[in-house]
Chains A and B, each alone.
Chain A
Amino acid sequence: KQEVTQIPAALSVPEGENLVLNCSFTDSAIYNLQWFRQDPGKGLTSLLLIQSSQREQTSGRLNASLDKSSGRSTLYIAASQPGDSATYLCAVIGSGNTGKLIFGQGTTLQVKP
C-alpha cells in the first residue's frame, strides 16, 4: 500500500530564505507526483506536476524534483516571501494511472517578514 510522508510537518523561516520541503513515498511505481498549496480553510491549488519519466519541473520561484528510485521528491522555494505562507501537500498517482491521488499530511510553512 502506497504511503506518502512529508517532513517537516511545520517550518518557520525569515523572509528571503531559500527552503526545501520533503516528500517521500513507499512504492516507487508511480505515474506522477503533484505538489499543491492550501491556504487555511481554502481549496488546493496545483503548483507543479512531475511525470514519472521526469526529474524536475520549474515554475517561477518553485522547483520540484523527483527521484523515483529512492522514493523522494523535494519542493524548493527560492527567496521566500510572506505570501508563501501556506500548507504544501504532495500527492502521487500509482503506475496504473487510475487517477487516485495518495496524499501526504502536508508541511505548514510560515514565512516571517
Chain B
Amino acid sequence: DADVTQTPRNRITKTGKRIMLECSQTKGHDRMYWYRQDPGLGLRLIYYSFDVKDINKGEISDGYSVSRQAQAKFSLSLESAIPNQTALYFCATSDPGLAGGSYNEQFFGPGTRLTVL
C-alpha cells in the first residue's frame, strides 16, 4: 500500500467551482506539504503544515486554502477554480529529522491532475 495517497487522481471541473483535493499518509510524519507542477515552471510550494495547529503559506498560496484534519490528513481547496489553476498537484510528507535521522527527506504522493475549463 502506498504511504502517501491522493484523491482524486484526475479531475476536470469548470471555472468558478469549488474543488477539494485530499491527501492521506501512513508514514506517521508530522509535516505535510502541497505543491503544484506546471510545465516550464517546475514544482512550487502552495502550503505547508508542521502539525495540526501549524499551517503556513508557501510561495503561491493565493486562490488556495488548506485544512489539516488530523496528523495523517491534509486537504487543499480551490474556493473558486480558474483556468490557470490547471496543473499537477502533489502532496508530500516529511519527518523533521530531530530524532529519526531522516533530515527532512520528503516523500511524495502520486499526484492529482486538475483541469479547469
Identify the A interface with B (CB < 8 A).
Answer: 31-32, 34, 36, 41-46, 49, 51, 89, 91, 93, 97, 99-101, 103-106
Identify the B interface with A (CB < 8 A).
Answer: 31, 33, 35, 40, 42-45, 48, 50, 58, 88, 90, 92, 94, 96-97, 103-111, 113
Please indicate the chain A residues that have their CB under 8 angstroms from the CB of B104 in the complex: 31-32, 93, 97, 99
Please indicate the chain B residues that have their CB under 8 angstroms from the CB of A31 in the complex: 103-104
Contact partner of B48 among A42, A89, A100, A105, CB < 8 A?
A100
Known: A32-B103, A46-B107. 4 other contacts (CB 8 A): A44-B92, A46-B108, A49-B105, A51-B103
Q: Per DSSP, are chain B's interface residues mostly helix, strand or loop, or mixed? A: strand
Contact B103 A100 (CB under 8 A): no
Q: How far is the CA of A106 from the CA of B43 in the complex (A)?
A: 10
Contact partner of B43 among A32, A51, A89, CB < 8 A?
A89
Contact partner of B90 among A34, A43, A100, A104, CB < 8 A?
A43
